[in-house]
Structures are given as C-alpha cells and as structure tokens.
Chains A and B, each alone.
Chain A
Amino acid sequence: MPQIFHRSANSIARVSIFGAAMFGIGALFLTLAITRSSWATRRDTVIPQPVPFSHSHHVSDIGIDCRYCHTSVESGRYAGIPPTQTCMNCHSQIWKDSPMLEPVRASFKTNTPMQWNRVHDVADFVYFNHSVHVNKGIGCVSCHGRVDRMPLMRRENTLQMEWCLACHRHPERFVRPLDQVFNMEYDAPHDGGVLAKKLVEERHVQSLTNCSTCHR
C-alpha cells in the first residue's frame, strides 16, 4: 500500500504543532500586553475637553487648593467636578472675554451644564470613595500624579485592579500626614517607616483587600 502522506508531512505536522503552541502563548502575552497598554487603559493619553483647562496653571501658577473646586473630596464618594458657577467666580472678572472660555459662559448663561470627558474612569462595578482615602492620609498625587505639572489632564496610572491592590496590600507605603494630603510636593521622610507606622496606628489604616470593599 502506498504511503498516503508525503514525507514532508512530518515536518509540516511538527511545525504546526509547535507553531500552534507558540501562537497560543504569543496570543496570551499579546492579550496581557494589550490590556495593560496605554491604548487600552488610556494612561498618559490626553483626552480632549470642551475647554482646555490647565491644572498646571491653576494649581502651580496661581496656587489654588484642590478643594476649592473638588469640594466633596473629603466628605463624599466623588471628589466633585466644580459647577459652572465655581469657574465664573473668577472668570466673570478675569479672562471674561477669552474665546477659550466661551463654553463656560454659555453654560452659565443658558443654565446648561458643561459636559466634560472623564479622565479617571474606574470600571462601573467598582465603588470607589474619595473621602475615605483622603481622610486616611492618601495624597492626591498617589493616584492622580503631579497634576500641578499637567497643562492638560491625563491619567497617570492604569486604575486597574492590580494597581489598586498594590496600595491596598501595603497602605503604609503611601500614607502621609493629613496636612500633607493636598500637597503636590510632599516628600516622605526617609526614616525607615517610623512615621508611616505611627500614621497607620493613629488613623487605623487597614489593608482591605476583600472583594466587597470595592465590588457589590
């Protein structure tokens, strides 16, 4: 009986078996790489806004405190995006004719809210709360980065679960005194964790990593 397969079929079979395995592994790595890429997470991507608001200017040039605009950051789940009125507190006096600010004036005049594009967007099944982080001594910078150096707002961290857990597992590495939370330039003392330990004890900082801390 003649051979059904040509001799080269052996090589083809070998190549395709190994090829398939390599393809599978490659696809896995590719998937993991894509999900962590800045394309998927939008990390370091500037998202266009109706008004090109500069945190860098308002924070470092003028020195406005975070809480002037983000009023509910210490009391609520959301830090709070300022109502148009907050913008108009100043901009009815200064830059009041700037064409860049036209959407703000229009919003105020027509009583129509501004529609900003969300930069820091955790998944919808995550119930994040600003107030508890701020009140336990986690600085704004820890998650949002040096916004005082961002002319246009971007996300500095992935906001993925592994990133959240990095801190939730070791909160002592990130806590700071309560009066330093809004300080963009805080430098933790290099004291071998003495201050961190004290802060953790004083503020009863816990490492909460169970599911219902964030998901429900």
Chain B
Amino acid sequence: MHDSDGREPEHDTHGHDAGVRGSQEPALAATRAPLMERELWRSLEDRGRTPAARVRVQAEILAPLAEPTSRRSFLQLMGASMALAGLGACARQPIEKIVPYVKQPEDLVPGRPLFFATALTIAGVASPVLVESHEGRPTKIEGNPEHPASLGATDRFAQADIMRLYDPDRSTVVMHLDDISTWANCTEALRVALGEQLAKRGAGLRILTPSVTSPALAAQIGAVLAQYPDAKWVQYDPDGRDAVREASRRAFGAPMSVRYDLSNADVVVTLDSDLLTSGPGNVRYARDFMRRRRIHEGESATMNRLYAVESMPTSTGSVADHRVGLAPSEIALFTAALAAELGVAGATRPSAALPDKAARWVVAVAKELAAHRGRSLVVAGDCLPVEVQVLAFAINAALGNVGPTFVVTDPIEVRPTAQHEELAALASDMQSGRVETLLVLESNPVYDAPVDLAFGDAMRRVPNCFHLGLYRDETAELCQWHVPAVHELESWGDARAYDGTLSLQQPLVEPLYDGHSSLDVLMLVAGQTGTVLDLIRSQWQVLYGGAGFEKLWRRTLHDGFASGSQFVPRGVELRADAVRDAATRLAGTSASGNEVVLRFDPNVHDGRFANNGWLQEVPKPWTKLVWDNAAIVSAAMAHELGVETGDMVELQTDGGKVEAGVWVLPGHAERCVTAHLGYGRRRGGNVAAGAGFDAYALSTTRSRWGGPVQVRKVAGHRTLVTTQEHHDMMRRNLVRRATLEEFTANPHFAHEEGPAPARDESMFKTFEYKGNAWGVAIDLGSCTGCNACVVACNSENNIAVVGRDQVRRNREMHWIRIDRYFEGDLNDPQIHHQPVMCMQCENAPCEQVCPVAATSHSPEGLNDMVYNRCVGTRYCSNNCPYKVRRFNFYGYQDVKTPVLQLMRNPDVTIRTRGVMEKCTYCVQRINHARIDAKNENRPIRDGEIVTACQQVCPTEAIVFGDINDPESKVAKMKRETRNYGVLEDLNTRPRTTYVAKLRNPNSELEAKA
C-alpha cells in the first residue's frame, strides 16, 4: 500500500489513453445498438460493442499502458539481470535466532493461533468479532459465531480494521501545536485548563464524543459532569441516525431504537436504504434475509420478495426482485402515496405526481403489503427526512408489523440526542467564545460536520482544544494538543450491538504507540486513578452485580458479550397527530430540479476508512470504481448535461461547490447526482491523499444528505479507475438465472447448453481422487456483492495493495473478484454478482503449460501454487480461461515498514516480484485442519475447514467442503439441479461451481415493465 503508488495528478493531463474508449466510441451512442435477448453487459461501453470491438478493447486494457522504458535502459537491465541471475542462489542461509519466552503464557502453543472475542465499533454500535492472535499479535478478524449480531460473519469494514491497527500513518506521539510533546506535558496542560473550569463549574468545558452506547463510557462522562455541572457533553457522528431518532420521538413519544427481524418478513420494501450491507445490524439482516430466499430442492419452494426504491443503487437494490430509481424527493412522495394507498390513518395523498413507473409501483406494492400483514416490512434509509421515517413507522404499524418484523426497543444509545442540533449549538458556543476548553474524543468534525457550521473556524476561537484520535487528522490539526488514541484492539471497552446486546472489548495487544483511550482521558479529567479495566469492571458490577459476578465476568470475557442482554421489544403507541403532520408536510412538497444525493461511500464509509488500502482498492459494488468517488448520474442525465464518464462537472449547493469526475451508472435515478462522502481527505494519511473529492463541502445542516444542486459541465478530465472491464469473460453466458416461476416450470434451466464433455475426453491423464476432494459451491442468488469476502481474502492471504495506477493497468491482486453484470434496459437494468476465484480445475489449463512445475495438481484436486518455484513466465495466466491468476509485476508488498510485518498471516508466504499467485481455497486452513484430524487419527469433518471468504460471508453464499463426501453441505449443493460449472464446455472440470440465481418477481409489475 505504501510502496507502489505512482500517483497521478488530480486531473489527467494525458487524456489520450484514458479517453480511447470515450473518443472512438461515444458510449451513449453505442448503447443504442440492439441487444440479444437477455444478454449480459459489463459497462455502458460494452453494451453496444461488436465482438470485434470487444477484442480490441480487451487488447487495449491488457496492454501495459505506456510505462516508458528506453531501449538503452532495457538492455542495461537485461544485461545486469543475466549477469546477476545466478548470484542470488550463492548465499548460504544465514543463521537465524530462536527467541523463546522467559515465562511462557498459559494456553499458548507457539504456531497455533488463539482467538479472543471482542468488538469493533462504528458510530458507537458494536460489531462483534473474534480476533486471531499469533503469539500476541492480532492478524485476522472474524465474526463472533455466538453473537446475535454476527453469527460468525462480519462486514467489509470489520475485516479491514486490522489494517487500521497496523496503519503506519497512525499518530504515534503527543503533539503540541506542531511540536512533538509528551503525555506528561499534555496532562499538565489539561490540569491547568480544568483548574480554571472547576471554579466556573465547567461552564466553558465541552466534551465531544461519537455516539455512546457504552455504559462504562457514559458513566465516566457522568462522573466528569458531576464535577463540572455546567459543562456540556456533545455526541456527534456523521452517521445519519438523527432522523430515525427524531422520527421515533415524534411518532412514539420517545427516542426508541428500531431493528428489523427479516426472518419473519415475506415482503420487504426498502426506501433508499442499503439495509443488507451498511449500517447497524446489516450482517444479521443479510443472513436472515437470504435464509428466507434460498430454495432447496425437496423443501418448500417459497421466497421472500424485496422491492427497492432508491436513488443511488446499492447492494441491497442489486438483489431486489424489483428496483426503481427515484430521486430522494420522489421517494418522499412515493412513501406518502404508499401510506395513503394503504389507508394509513392520517396519511394524505400528495398532490405532486409521481413518475409513471413509481405510480404503478404504489398500487402493486400496497397490494402486496396489504396481503402480508404482520409478515412484511418497510424500511426507510437513515438519510431520508424525518417525515418519511414517521410514515414508514406508520405503515409498519398499520400493517401490524410492529413486533414480528419491525422491532422497537429501548434506545441503544445511552443518551439519544439530536446530534446535529447539539453540534450546531457547540459551534455557535465556540463562535461566541463561550467555550474555553474542548475535548474532542475520537471524532473528526472539522472534516465531517456540515459546512455551514464552519466548525474549523469556530474551533480556532477555543483557547484549549485537546484532541484524541487514531490519526492526526483535520480536527487534530486545529487543536493545541493532540494525543494518539489506542485502536479498539489495544484497549478495554464495552459497547452495545444493534440489538442492544452488551459486548465487551478486550485488548489483543499492548498499545503499539503511546496511545490512550477515551476512558483513559476521562478518568484523568475526573481526577481518578486506577485502570480502565477496573473502571469497566466496576461499571459492569453496577449492571450485573451480585454473588456470581466473577463467573459472569469470565464468561463474558470468553464469549465477548453478556448473553441475554439483547433489548426486549417494547410495545409502542403511534401518535396519530405525528403521522398526520408528517403526511401533510410531505403532501405539500414537490419534486423538481436536480438534487444531489450525499451518501456514505460503500468502501471508506464516512471517511474513517479513507487511509485503508484494502478498502480503497476493493471495487465498489455497482460502479467497480476504486480509489475514487465520482459524480454518479444516470445515462439520461449525462446526455442532458452533455457529459460522459470522466468529464468534469461542478456541483453547487447552498453549502459550496466541488468539481467532480462524472460516472454514468445505469440504474441510477433521474434528476439526481450521487456524491459519496468520505473522500478528499486533506489530512487523512498517505493512502487517502489524492483520492477523490470532498463531498462534505456540499452538505449543510438543512440539506445534510443532499438537496437542490446546480450541475454544470466544466473543462478537464479525471481518469476514474474501474475494474469493470478487467478479466472480461467475453459475454459468454456465465450467470445463469431464472425467475421462480420459470424454475418451477423448468428445473433444469441452468443446463440448457448441454452437458460438459466426458471426463476422459482429454489428452491428459485423468486424476483419481480417492481421499478428500475439495470443492466450492456459490449460491449466486445470495451474493449481495458486498465485498466482505474480497477484504477477508486480502487479510487471510497477505494480498498486496497495488495502488490506483497499477489497478488502472489491470494489475489488481485480488484472488477473489466479484464480477458484476448488467442485464436489460439501460436505465433500469438488472444486476448480477458473480464471485470468481480460482476454479481448481480438474483438467487445469494452467498446470499443463508451466515450464517449471510451479503449479501442479494435488491428490485432493487443488491446483497447488508453489511460489518459491515460480519463475514468472505467466504462461499459466495466459492459459487460464477464468482469468484468476495474478502476477506480481513489482514488489507490491511493503516488506520494509516494520509495523506492517506484524499484520501478515504467518501461515502464508509473502510473494515477491515476478511471482504468479492465486487462490488455493485457503490451503493453509486445509492443512491445519488436516493435521489436527491426523493427530487425532480421524477423518476431517464437514465444516471443519472454512475458507476465509466463506467464513466472512454474511449471506452464506459460499460453501466449501469435500465433494467426495455425499453428506457434506457442498456435495448436497452440487447435487441441486441449478448447480452448474462455468465454461464447462472447455472440459476444465471446475471444482468451483455456481448455483443459478433465482428471482421472485411480482407478475403484476413484471408484465407491465
């Protein structure tokens, strides 16, 4: 990540190569070419291409884009290489040291990892995890299988957090202004500042924290406020739960928390919500949702149905049975109309007309919902206005969903507040000089607060600002004092998960730097001594005190959470006047003019992961963009603006203006442009630097998540790097799919292309697999394209980050990729995800062409890859029809930065330059399980080996196992009629097969579409 970034200038000056496809084939014009029925396409440009053009474009993409090497330097390098080639082998292996413990910790067997349960938080909400620790060094994060919020899976953010722990850009020392200082100096300064405040009862003291669900932290803040009664505690997170809290306050009379139980829902309607892959509880939601959707032969053949109404297409929308793109203001109208159609008490039909399609939807969706009372669910996204939230509550209440699917509980935040109001009050207090001492604990408001608060300017007026954070970020820069924070894997803590389950955080490693936690700092402020652990224990004693506390504490420490602490559903009374009020307000609105849609980025979220190379390099679900954000528009809007992908536009709102590269995205709503937040970091670190533009500049208090915008084409070009045309599968029918109805009529639809050639129709000898035979089955219908598997694979297999420029040259190293295909209408396409990793062919084309036998067949059917044997001819990659082999064109791994060495999985070799690499079904995990089984002299049990991608998958789409064992889960999946292999006609006999995707459309909407 920190090694190979030949970064590009902000605006591409040599537009000629980037514009090749743009200039020769105007994308929009080309798209008018008629499509074959049900043909799949990968990008706008691809849509209209003739086969010949496709070959040409592939050649362009594959050709290493102008990396100029002169003939002279080429000869010099080659000569030197020849001369020095043999010398590398002349060294004798140096003598290495063995450093045993002085006193070996209990339970530790060197070389055998231990797993500890803890939790990571985003905006205060806990994601429960198990962390793999090698001799005290955390290397991999997994979900906590026993925790209701995880069930063993995590999202992509939790996977990538290990890289944040070891990020070389983390802040390492206490800073005073621009000088390196010490913790002692900082505490002295804090003592003096607090001394002044003590006399004033803390009137000039403010504490800014993220949302707090932690009882210990809240109690500690309480202790501080007891000493400084006039001080104020402000919570702020850019995560937009404000509207949900406010809606709850209006509708139920109190700020309750809402969670969903998708295991009871037959019909789900999402309104601008990425329910399944973002936000609190997404991992559990995705699992419950997909479990209601998978069809196994011989069992009941019912599927739930998902309607997605959204502006920016999301992963959730990509698995919907029906999706409609509407601008946010239209979504508000849609909700109002839906409420009215359902006859919700107090609802009013809006006067403004909806687009035709949406109007048809209102009728059809209302009919479906009404037919599924108590078994349906309407989910409004966090970024929608309060009125829409209230109506969504009302619809659920009217449908009798409150309880079975729509669960209202006590708030998970200790003190639910209107965060944006509090922050505005803080800003105005600072502006007017009422704030003398400000403690900013692990927040970055200078970057992510609404621009009209001018938070940075206001902060400059505060004489004593103390900042605690992982990075010396935009906010830290303006504070007099900055203290490095500890990562959550370095500290004690507690937090509640989305359902209220109280989770305990324990340190996996001593703080790498001189770091402190929020609790640490607040103990200092309260003048307490002792340890954070004692503090948390005493707090838990308050909650769970009594005779058995020690036992409970140990149990909790082991499990990672207090079992049974999930919040119980509360009965609520819906206030009719709140509904009437919301409906009336919405009825008066209209949808006109262009809107900007500001949403958290699928990769870097609100910006907190901007310095994370793994997340930056993962292609985003719909756009397959990497290392950038863009002004995302529909094809029609691009046409209207006269722009194409890569052109620059200026977006202007009442908050400000930014220039952004355009990305034309099929399926995006009309009349609106999406800008993802979290990019354009000014002080985000070396990885974040130069990536994207700062969309927070458009965000104001009034229109926090978007509003009216003026879009104007401006000069310039930005090369937006995308992987959507990499590893082209040449439009062969690789994603097989059907509707539930078609499947019932023709269960063998996935095999219409005929059977694969016979096993012995090959000039090479056929392998016999007598023992285990490993295989993978992937359920295409379950894949949401959330990318958790890609990040998990990166982490498990020490996969290098190559940087923006190298990705542009088709050199990303991901062993598992998620191919994304569009189907059908340009403005309203269906989208299909297909995870592709090494297929471990039984007749592997790669093995036969390797001149040095660096890739060879194992008796269990793996295509072994021996890195120390590989000489880098790349023949194997050229011969791979699935395009799953990755070549190290450079030494992509940073082997010099010491802290990054800690991050690596010691069970997997670090590949060097000139070496081919690929997925081997996590052979290190296979070997571990095999050795364990052999030590116990028993066969390997089904489910004992889980690959990294399988383990993390929230929807259980990937299943690994022994296909020779007829009772194994994978063998059962492979026996389903929908199971098929990709490119089987080549007689490669792939071990990875796919279960064809099923969709459950509403015939009423399908017919008219």
Contact = CB atoms under 8 A, between A and B. Distances in A.
B937 A72 contact: no
A159 to B, nearest CB: 10
A28 to B, nearest CB: 12
Contact of A80 (B99, B110, B935): B110
Given A77-B111, A80-B110, A116-B98, A211 B935 contact: no
Contacts of A81: 98, 100
B858 A210 contact: yes
B928 to A, nearest CB: 9
A127 B937 contact: no
Interface string A97-131: 00000000001100111111110010111010101
A216 B924 contact: yes
B866 interface: yes
A125 B92 CA distance: 15
Given A211-B858, A216-B924, A78 B97 contact: no
Contacts of B866: 211-212, 215
Given A83-B103, A127-B907, A211-B858, A72 B934 contact: no
Contacts of A115: 97-99
A216 B101 contact: no
Contacts of A157: none
A135 interface: yes
Contacts of A121: 93, 95-96
Interface string A36-75: 0001101000010000000000000000000000001011
B858 A82 contact: no
B863 to A, nearest CB: 9
B947 to A, nearest CB: 13
Contacts of B96: 117-118, 121
A72 B924 CA distance: 20
B859 A132 contact: no
Contact of A212 (B93, B112, B858, B868): B858
B864 interface: yes
Contacts of B907: 127, 216
A203 interface: yes
A85 B771 CA distance: 44
A39 B90 CA distance: 12
A85 B102 contact: yes
Size class of A's contact patch? 35 or more
Contacts of B93: 42, 121, 123
Contacts, number: 130
Nearest to A110: B102
B1005 interface: no
B478 interface: no
B932 to A, nearest CB: 9
Contact of A216 (B99, B857, B908, B931): B908
B95 A131 contact: no
Given A211-B858, A215-B867, A216-B908, A113 B923 contact: no
A135 B935 CA distance: 5
A212 B864 contact: yes
B929 to A, nearest CB: 12
A7 interface: no
A40 B92 CA distance: 6
A138 to B, nearest CB: 12
Given A76-B110, A127-B927, A204 B934 contact: yes
Nearest to A108: B102
B746 interface: no
Nearest to B860: A210
Given A76-B109, A212-B862, A116 B935 contact: no
Q: Which of A72, A203, A212 has the most CB of B within 10 A?
A: A212
B100 A39 contact: no
B856 interface: yes
B104 interface: yes
B935 A117 contact: no
B182 interface: no
Q: Which of B100, B103, B771, B867 has the most CB of A within 10 A?
A: B100
A208 to B, nearest CB: 8
A111 B104 CA distance: 11
B762 interface: no
Interface string B108-140: 011110000000000000000000000000000
A90 to B, nearest CB: 16
Contacts of A215: 864, 866-869, 909
Given A77-B111, A84-B103, A132-B934, A213 B927 contact: yes
Q: Which of A47, A108, A131 has the most CB of B within 10 A?
A: A131
24 contacts: A72-B109, A72-B112, A76-B109, A80-B100, A80-B110, A85-B102, A85-B103, A108-B102, A113-B101, A114-B100, A115-B97, A117-B95, A117-B97, A118-B98, A121-B95, A123-B93, A125-B909, A127-B927, A129-B927, A208-B859, A210-B864, A212-B862, A215-B864, A215-B868
Given A85-B102, A118-B95, A211-B865, 15 more contacts: A76-B112, A77-B110, A77-B111, A83-B103, A83-B104, A107-B102, A117-B97, A124-B909, A131-B931, A132-B931, A210-B858, A212-B858, A215-B866, A215-B868, A216-B924
Please give me the 5 A-B residue pairs with the lowest Cβ-Cβ distance, nearest first. Answer: A77-B111, A76-B109, A81-B100, A83-B101, A212-B864
Interface of A: 39-40, 42, 47, 72, 74-78, 80-85, 107-108, 111-118, 121, 123-125, 127, 129, 131-132, 135-136, 203-204, 206, 208, 210-213, 215-216
